[in-house]
Amino acid sequence: AQRVTQPEKLLSVFKGAPVELKCNYSYSGSPELFWYVQYSRQRLQLLLRHISRESIKGFTADLNKGETSFHLKKPFAQEEDSAMYYCALSRRVTDKLIFGTGTRLQVFP
């Protein structure tokens, strides 16, 4: 069965510190991988997807098929990055999203 694991429930850093939110997945095929973000009192929204290989709000994520990981990174955290982050997997473009349990990022001033 497909599974997405986010080992950290909470990650606290100070402003300006590097951030890495971990995500590991289990799926035998070639998955589509995403990071979603939910700011306080706002809807869940797509942050980035692995096939785009883009940087959004300074965040990047590289798919490592050998380690089955898709960690989210940002070199210098900002206070406005504080939010709930979900890693998600889709088996194919028309399939549902399978979410990890989420990591709450707190960035202190």
Partner 1 sequence: DTAVSQTPKYLVTQMGNDKSIKCEQNLGHDTMYWYKQDSKKFLKIMFSYNNKELIINETVPNRFSPKSPDKAHLNLHINSLELGDSAVYFCASSPNSGDAFFGQGTRLTVV
Residues near partner 1 (CB under 8 A): 32, 34, 42-46, 49, 51, 84, 86, 90, 92-99, 101-102, 104
Q: Looking at beta carbons only, is 66 or 92 nearer to partner 1?
A: 92
Q: How far is the CB of 16 from partner 1 (least distance, A)?
A: 27
What is d(CA 82, CA 92) in angstroms, rounded to the nearest whole number?
30
b/e code 13-27 from CB counts within 10 Å (16+ = b): beeeeebebbbbbeb
Sequence-distant (≥ 6) Cβ neighbours of residue 92 within 8 angstroms: 32
Q: Looking at beta carbons only, is 17 or 46 nearer to partner 1?
A: 46
Q: Looking at beta carbons only, is 6 or 77 nearer to partner 1?
A: 6
Q: How far is the CB of 86 from partner 1 (least distance, A)?
A: 6
Q: How far is the CB of 5 from partner 1 (least distance, A)?
A: 13
What is d(CA 67, CA 64) in angstroms, rounded to the nearest whole number?
6
